[in-house]
């Protein structure tokens, strides 16, 4: 006759089995993300000096005209935050390797519908002060140059990670003015909720 | 085969040179898979060429820390031992000549300003034949080698930015004459730790220099305008220094005395 003490390891094993199954099963269970909303909170622009290997915010008012850029900084704000209730023996965080996306995704409540860049000084023969020179700016991403019209979807993307809520986009001037000149640029953003954001760079001397 | 013959000849010449009681014989054969990495300690020709092209001529760097190479291969050494027996006190010194044959693959990882080189084939087969003279004291071995190294160099490309502009380029190199052998010199230290009679682990550091003689064509594409130009006969005639660290486990088949 086996005693309880002798059977204890087996009993313990059968008690632990469900937990082990749960541990493995938790890996394969990526829940659908709960959708929340965010709003565009703050905007800022700064001039970029891209003359070296990496673009950096300019510390002077003189920049090489072939290496000028504008950094557009966007900060988003979450409109709601909810922690979904889950009924589990075990938190999925202790599973082997879940690699699930965050449980909450944020979509824009108000989207940027238009991004225009204007020159405040005479730029070239065809673009006097006040002209739209949006077509001269490009974003370099994934080894190709993207026109501003092609990056609008990125400005209104679904956000998942904390880092996404502060973004900056470098817009590079790919058509330099023909001669050295003072330049200042105005970035105008239109939002779907009717807001219009106007941002102005500092006056810079392009050489 | 020719190398073996030359090595035997070297050992025989050395034996004749010594006037005491000596014995030249094939004493051991080593088979030692190695794993390690090499760091170029002179600027890479690719990096210098790209710097010159893009206008970054003022770096002045003599060490390129962002280039390294993982190597995995075998060090096959046919060891010709020359035993010098001193009849007076019975002490024994050994002077070895090696016939080295390194065969393996190299995984090259190079970075240029944070951008990794894109290679069609990261794996390079290398074969190096050479002779090492070593003086073995306990488990340390000093190795001086001369030989030839050949490995096919494949298509390399990188995306890089021009200095003082917003323009980015795709630069690619296509090698020619890739089967040429490079004269290689090396100086290194090797440590053996015997786990068992015939099995040992070894750690090795080696300073290697070789003078490649590869001709490259360089293709440059402006990613904004999509204009492409190609230069022929961009030559790599320059000396390269590598320092390598490798560790491995080896089998020694030693002839019984």
Complex confidence, ipTM: 0.76
Gap between the Cα atoms of B120 and B134, Å rounded: 38
Instruction: Tell me the per-residue pLDDT of A4-36, one tens digit each, with 9 for 90 and over.
Output: 666 676 777 777 777 767 666 555 567 778 888
Could you tell me the two tokens for B249? 């486990």
B44 vs A18: CA distance, rounded Å: 58
Please enumerate residues of B whose Cβ is less than 8 A from a Cβ of A: 56, 113-114, 159, 161, 163-168, 170, 223-224
How long is chain B? 257
Question: CB under 8 Å to A69, separation ≥6 — which residues?
Answer: A47, A48, A49, A50, A55, A170, A171, A172, A173, B166
Residues of A in contact with B113 (CB under 8 A): 53-54
Beta carbons within 10 angstroms of residue B70's beta carbon: 15
Q: How close are the terminal C-alpha atoms of chain B, in Å? A: 26
Q: Which residues of B touch A173 (CB under 8 A)?
A: 166
Q: What pLDDT, on the 0 to 100 scale, is given for residue B3?
A: 40
Residue B188: burial class (beta carbons within 10 Å; 0-12, 13-18, 19+): buried
Q: Are A62 and A207 in contact (CB under 8 A)?
A: yes
The pLDDT, as a whole number, for residue A149 is: 93
Residues of B in contact with A53 (CB under 8 A): 56, 113-114, 161, 163
Among candidates B241, B250, B242, B189, which has minimal Cα distance to B37? B242
- Tell me the chain A residues in contact with residue B170 when contact means C-beta distances shorter than 8 Å: 143
User: How many residues in total does chain A contain?
Assistant: 207
Q: Are B125 and B104 in contact (CB under 8 A)?
A: yes
* CB nearest A66 (choices: B164, B168, B170): B164
Work out the pLDDT band at A71, boundaries 50, 70, 90: very high
The C-alpha atoms of residue A50 and residue A63 are separated, in whole angstroms, by 9
Residue B171 near residue B117, CB atoms below 8 Å: no
Q: Which two tokens stand for residue B101?
A: 């044959």
User: pLDDT tens-digit profile of B55-85?
Assistant: 887 765 544 445 666 666 666 666 555 555 5
The total of other beta-carbon atoms located within 10 Å of residue A99's CB is 8
pLDDT at A84: 53
Can you tell me the distance from the alpha carbon of B209 to that of B225, in angstroms, rounded to the nearest whole number?
A: 41
- DSSP 3-state helix, strand, coil percentages of chain B (rounded to 5)? 10, 60, 30
Closest Cα in chain B to A174: B166
Q: What is the pLDDT confidence band of residue B29, given thresholds at 50, 70 and 90?
A: low
Question: Are the CB atoms for B43 and B74 separated by under 8 Å?
Answer: no
- The residues that bridge with B101 in the sheet, in sequence order, are B76, B129
**Span B149-179, pLDDT tens digits:** 766 666 778 888 999 999 999 988 887 665 6
- The rounded Cα B120 to chain-centroid distance in angstroms is 21
The pLDDT of residue B255: 61
| Residue given tokens 């070239």 in the structure block | A124
Give the residue-averaged pLDDT of B203-231. 81
Q: What is the per-residue pLDDT for A44?
A: 93
Q: A18-53 burial by CB neighbour count: b if 16+ within 10 A, else e?
A: eeeebeeebeeeeeebeebebebeebebebbbbbeb
pLDDT band at A41 (very low <50, low <70, confident <90, very high): confident
Q: Which secondary-structure segment (H or E) carries A139? A: strand A137-141
Q: Does A171 touch chain B (CB under 8 A)?
A: no
- Measure in Å the smallest separation between the Cα of B56 and chain A Cα atoms: 9
pLDDT band at B8 (very low <50, low <70, confident <90, very high): very low
Task: Work out the mean pLDDT of chain A and round it to a whole number.
Answer: 83
Q: Do A53 and B165 touch (CB under 8 A)?
A: no
Residue B152 near residue B114, CB atoms below 8 Å: no
pLDDT at B14: 39
Compute CA distances B66 → A142, B112, B117, whole Å: 21, 7, 11
Average pLDDT value for residue range A163-176: 91
- Cα B27 to Cα B109: distance, rounded to the nearest angstrom: 38
């Amino acid at each position: 006759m086996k005693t309880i003490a002798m059977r204890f390891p087996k009993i313990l094993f059968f008690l632990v089995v469900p937990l082990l199954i749960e541990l493995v099963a938790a890996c394969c269970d990526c829940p659908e993300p709960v959708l929340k909303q965010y709003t565009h909170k703050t905007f800022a622009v700064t001039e970029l000096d891209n003359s070296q290997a990496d673009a950096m915010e300019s510390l002077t008012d003189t920049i090489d005209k072939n290496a000028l850029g504008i950094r557009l900084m966007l900060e988003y704000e979450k409109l709601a935050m909810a922690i979904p209730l889950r009924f589990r023996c075990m938190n999925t965080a202790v599973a082997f390797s879940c690699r699930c996306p965050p449980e909450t995704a944020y979509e824009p409540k108000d989207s940027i519908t238009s991004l225009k860049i204007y020159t405040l000084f005479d730029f070239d023969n065809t673009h006097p002060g006040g002209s739209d020179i949006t077509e001269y700016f490009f974003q370099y991403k994934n080894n190709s140059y993207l026109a501003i019209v092609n990056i609008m979807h990125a400005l209104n993307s679904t956000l998942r990670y904390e880092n996404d809520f502060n973004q900056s986009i470098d817009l590079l001037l790919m058509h330099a003015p023909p001669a050295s000149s003072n330049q200042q640029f105005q970035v105008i953003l239109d939002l779907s909720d009717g807001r219009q954001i106007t941002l102005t760079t500092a006056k810079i001397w392009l050489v | 085969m020719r190398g073996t013959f030359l090595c035997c000849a070297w050992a025989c010449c050395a034996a004749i040179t010594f006037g005491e009681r000596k014995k030249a014989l094939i004493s051991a054969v080593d088979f030692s898979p190695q794993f390690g990495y090499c760091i170029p300690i002179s600027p890479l020709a690719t990096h210098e060429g790209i710097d010159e092209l893009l206008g970054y001529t003022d770096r002045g760097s003599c060490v390129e820390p962002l280039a390294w190479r993982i190597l995995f291969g075998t060090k096959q050494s046919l060891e010709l031992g020359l035993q010098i027996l001193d009849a007076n006190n019975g002490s024994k010194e050994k002077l070895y000549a090696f016939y080295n044959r390194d065969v393996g693959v190299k995984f090259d990882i190079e970075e240029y300003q944070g951008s990794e080189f894109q290679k069609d084939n990261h794996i390079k087969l290398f074969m190096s034949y050479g002779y090492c003279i070593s003086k073995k004291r306990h488990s340390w071995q000093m190795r001086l080698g001369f030989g030839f190294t050949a490995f096919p160099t494949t298509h390399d490309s990188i995306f890089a930015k021009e200095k003082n502009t917003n323009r980015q380029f795709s630069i690619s190199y296509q090698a020619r004459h890739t089967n040429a052998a490079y004269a290689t010199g090396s100086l290194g230290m090797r440590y053996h730790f015997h786990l068992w009679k015939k099995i040992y682990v070894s750690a090795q550091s080696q300073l290697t220099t070789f003078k490649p003689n590869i001709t490259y064509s360089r293709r440059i594409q402006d990613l904004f305008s999509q204009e492409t130009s190609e230069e022929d006969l961009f030559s790599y005639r320059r000396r390269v220094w590598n320092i390598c660290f490798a560790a491995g486990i080896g089998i020694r088949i030693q002839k019984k005395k």
